[in-house]
Amino acid sequence: MHCNILGAPVQDGSRRMGCEMGPSALRTAGLIAALSELGHTVTDLGAVVPAAVRPLTHGNLALKALPEISAWTAGIADAAYAASGGAMPIFLGGDHSISAGTLSGLARRAAEAGRPLFVLWLDAHPDFHTLDTTVSGNLHGVPLAYASGQPGFDGYFPDLPAKVDPARICTLGIRSVDPAERQALRAAGVTAHDMRAIDEHGIAPLLGAFLERVAAENGLLHVSLDVDFLDPSIAPAVGTTVPGGATFREAHLVMEMLSDSGLVSSLDLVELNPFLDERGRTATLMVDLTASLMGRRIMDRPTRSF
């Protein structure tokens, strides 16, 4: 497979500085070498350049860096569309606001191909706030709402050439959901599996049912992997730690199931903050998980010591 690597060094959507170093850390941790060793052809496209920043004001005075995130979203959307032509793009964040752009560009590509785009959102948070409902004002909490066409973004974020159907979105591993998001997820028809559902049923049947839907519709599948999907005991390099996340084995099982399905067409790796890492252990784990998704099995993993 041909993989296009594209960095999106965005940190304006988060309350903690450091995510802009994420793409460099993932490269340093050996992402390109890991993919190449698995037989994939890799092209490193460098870093996205944001569009021109335009003045924007909004009635929600809590919003932070709205003009900057809007500009990044426009630049990332165009870059994601270009990178997805004839290759599997892997986007290196940057905070999760980059997904507003990646999903926009990928939805445009899917619409032109006449295939539905499905989204697997691996995150402690659903990121389903709108500009009106966010209390923190941190815009890494809005990308999934924006990309699925929820109200309130017109005139502030770029117009969407195509929207992601909320019924084709699955959030897996969520454990920090604000009341406004909970109501919006239910109303939109998003499939939401929290950690209690994983505890009760296991992660495999929940993911398996979603993958069956993707396959039945001949869909393209975008996977968005946030560091805080993982338990902070194994992945400390994130500014939004929430206890009780996915274990090492649960995370690898997800990636192996995705690999076995052959359905994944694009990937986000987001919210890695190297400033908060411990000797690169989180960056290394994210690379290992990516390798599992791209065909490596646990038995093939090199032994690592930290």
40 catalytic residue (yes or no): no
123 catalytic residue (yes or no): yes
Q: Which residues, in sequence order, are CB contacts of 25 under 8 Å at separation 6+?
A: 272, 274, 277, 280, 283
Candidates 40, 140, 193, 252; catalytic one? 140
Candidates 125, 129, 193, 222; catalytic one? 125
Candidates 68, 181, 228, 250; catalytic one? 228
Q: How many other C-beta atoms are found inside a 10 Å radius of the C-beta of residue 44?
A: 15
User: How far apart, in whole angstroms, are the C-alpha atoms of residue 78 and residue 185?
Assistant: 27
User: Which H or E element spans position 179?
Assistant: helix 179-188
125 catalytic residue (yes or no): yes
268 catalytic residue (yes or no): no
Candidates 96, 193, 222, 252; catalytic one? 96
Candidates 12, 68, 95, 123; catalytic one? 123
Candidates 20, 231, 271, 288; catalytic one? 271
Q: What angle do CA 287, 201, 169 make, to 5 degrees?
A: 60
Side-chain-side CA neighbours of residue 38 (13 Å): 24
CB 78 within 8 A of CB 50: no
Candidates 20, 127, 250, 256; catalytic one? 127
228 catalytic residue (yes or no): yes
User: Which H or E element spans position 3?
Assistant: strand 2-8
Q: Which residues are catalytic?
A: 96, 123, 125, 127, 140, 226, 228, 271
